[in-house]
Structure 1
Amino acid sequence: MDIAFISMALSQSKVQQQASISVMKMAIGIAEQQGEAIHKLMSTSDVTAIQHAAQPHLGGNIDLKI
């Protein structure tokens, strides 16, 4: 067995695991932020805010004919 090769493989494995954990922590943070935003939105009684959040593209333009 080549000890240097095994050492490099273990080191690369450790770096990959650390990167994976870092990405997972970022994803968890984003999910928590989205959950808090949804909770805040659902706790409001403002119907227009809820409708705008569900369909933000509606109501931005008005067609007028003269």
Structure 2
Amino acid sequence: MDIAGLSIAMNQSKVQQDASLALMKMAMNTGKETAAQMTEMIEECCVNPNVGQHLDVRA
């Protein structure tokens, strides 16, 4: 294989690695955003801490 062909092959490999890394970063950021949104949604949920504290039973 000549040097030009080897150079092209190495550059293509680097481009593939860079694209794969960029895609993985996007997936990680999406996961972080989803987790943050879920945490925010749970925190905003209206929960009354007094509900269920007392049970009135009559026979």
TM-score (norm 1): 0.65
User: Paired residue for 1:15?
Assistant: 16
In the aligned structure 2, how far is the partner of 1:41 from the partner of 1:15? 39
The one of the two structures with greater contact order (alpha-carbon pairs below 8 A, sep at least 6) is 1
- C-alpha separation in 2, matches of 1:19 and 1:10: 14
Where 2:46 maps in the other structure, the secondary structure is coil
Which structure has the larger Rg over C-alpha atoms?
2
Number of equivalences = 48
Regions of 4+ moved over 6 Å = none
Where does the alignment leave 5 or more consecutive residues of structure 2 unmatched?
50-59
Scaled by the length of structure 2, the TM-score of the pair is 0.72
RMSD: 1.9
Percentage of matched positions with identical amino acids:
4
